[in-house]
Amino acid sequence: MSRAERRAGAALAAIFGLRMLGLFLILPVFAVFAPTLAGGDDRSLVGLALGAYGLTQAVFQIPYGIASDRWGRKPVIVAGLLLFAAGSFVAALADNIYWVIAGRVIQGAGAISAAVTALAADLTREQHRTKVMAMIGSTIGLVFAISLVLAPVLYAVIGMSGIFTLTGILALGAIALLSRAVPSPPPAMAGRRVPFAAILLHPQLARMNFGVLALHVMQTALWVVVPPLLVSAGGLPVGEHWKIYLPAVLASFAVLVPAILAAERGGLMKPVFVTAVFLLVTVQGGLAWFGTGKYAIGFWLLVFFVGFNVLEAMQPSLISRLAPGEAKGTALGVYNTTQSIGLFLGGALGGWLLQHFGAGAVQGFCAAIGVVWLVLAATMTLPVRKTSS
């Protein structure tokens, strides 16, 4: 990659990381904090407070993507980060669960994922795009692992209000980073407007959109099953789960780099993609039949993160190649919307299946949706990679 591409990739990954750290820091400790709020003893409201972010993300991703195609990436990203910061400060000042929910709704309205990934695509050549997407995707995984360690410490020191305030400050810091470190993108492409239906019904884009839905259904459902499994089968207290999560995430990065190089330089894009989907399906059976101890669970988590990180890197890159140039933001908006829906469905369906039918039903459901994705991946047509600069 050129110096400008490395700089753009690192800065955009950091912006993503700052924002996601603010979100992930809340997850391990909010359920402990919620009963101290008025109305916080209602578990359905606590779940709504956590899930409201994903729902508003799903609503706003497509409008933000379209807006970024028409008015530019950076203004849309700044507007989204300002909304995210405002929601964080509303939640920090909340004295009841309803104001926390309102803050989370406002946070979710800052749906910048499509605009950020579209900007990353604008600033990188096609042959290096997956590497930049890998930088962004791996940052998300690393930040998630770090948050599992930091959240309890920060909660003890600055409390939940302090964590929400910190998320707002991080969002404002991301704006400063965007203005100072991210190069200006090329002018928006002039040309015909691509009908929204053409993006939504594009056969290859639709496969990618189903894929990201399936990926995040499996991701969220995994966290419904794994923590109780680590306690019951692994004999590990909740406060020590990070000892399994963190090594699994970090070790998966060692596989990510050669996998991306094989896909990009070795011309093995489709085999690497299909193999990553196959790994996710394998994890479901592995956890169901062989997840009988903490080290076995850690191994299957490592396999999951390998597949997850590879797909998180490859799919946005492929979307940007498959979409018409003047509608990249729109296509990535649809992609990120289905991602948000997957996050919501994975939690909702995973919890319902676990409650009524047990962990095996969750893993069976995830395996089934993974097999459907595997068939779609094996029969997809990928764009020919350009080699000129």
pLDDT at 235: 80
Taking each continuous run of H as one helix and of E as one strand, the counts in the chain are: 14, 0
Cα 28-96-345 angle, rounded to 5 deg: 50
Mark whether 128 and 249 lie in a shared domain.
Answer: no
In a domain, 116, yes or no: yes
Q: Domain end: 183, 211, 234, which one? A: 183
The torsion angles phi and psi of 136, rounded to 5 degrees, stand at: -70, -45
Mark whether 136 and 230 lie in a shared domain.
Answer: no
Under 8 Å between Cβ of 134 and 261: no
Token pair in block for residue 366: 């995830």
In a domain, 389, yes or no: no
The torsion angles phi and psi of 2, rounded to 5 degrees, stand at: -75, 165
In a domain, 190, yes or no: no
Mark whether 94 and 137 lie in a shared domain.
Answer: yes
Mark whether 81 and 223 lie in a shared domain.
Answer: no
Q: Domain end: 133, 152, 183, which one? A: 183
Q: Is 235 left (phi over 0), alpha (psi -120 to 50) or beta?
A: left
Return d(Cα 207, Cα 321) in angstroms, integer: 14
Return d(Cα 97, Cα 154) in angstroms, integer: 21
Mark whether 255 and 322 lie in a shared domain.
Answer: yes
Q: Domain end: 161, 183, 205, which one? A: 183
In a domain, 296, yes or no: yes
Return d(Cα 213, Cα 206) in angstroms, integer: 11
Mark whether 225 and 167 lie in a shared domain.
Answer: no
Mark whether 79 and 175 lie in a shared domain.
Answer: yes
Q: CB atoms < 10 A from the CB of 301, how many?
A: 25
Q: What is the CATH number of the domain that holds 104?
A: 1.20.1250.20
Distances (CA, A) of 136 to 167, 180, 200, 207: 19, 18, 25, 22
Return d(Cα 53, Cα 102) in angstroms, integer: 10
In a domain, 27, yes or no: yes
Token pair in block for residue 111: 């749906």
Q: CB atoms < 10 A from the CB of 55, how many?
A: 17
* Count of structural domains, the chain: 2
pLDDT at 187: 63
In a domain, 189, yes or no: no
Q: 38: helix, coil or strand? A: strand
Mark whether 208 and 341 lie in a shared domain.
Answer: yes
Q: Which residues of the chain have pLDDT under 70?
A: 28, 31, 43-44, 47, 130, 137-138, 141, 186-192, 238-239, 291, 325, 383-389
In a domain, 49, yes or no: yes
Per-residue DSSP letters for 276-307?
Answer: HHHHHHHHHHHHHHH--SHHHHHHHHHHHHHH
pLDDT at 364: 93
Mark whether 247 and 355 lie in a shared domain.
Answer: yes
pLDDT (tens digit per residue) in 307-332: 988 888 788 878 878 887 677 778 88
Return d(Cα 369, Cα 365) in angstroms, integer: 6
Mark whether 178 and 326 lie in a shared domain.
Answer: no
In a domain, 150, yes or no: yes
Residue 59 lies in domain:
1-183
Mark whether 176 and 211 lie in a shared domain.
Answer: no
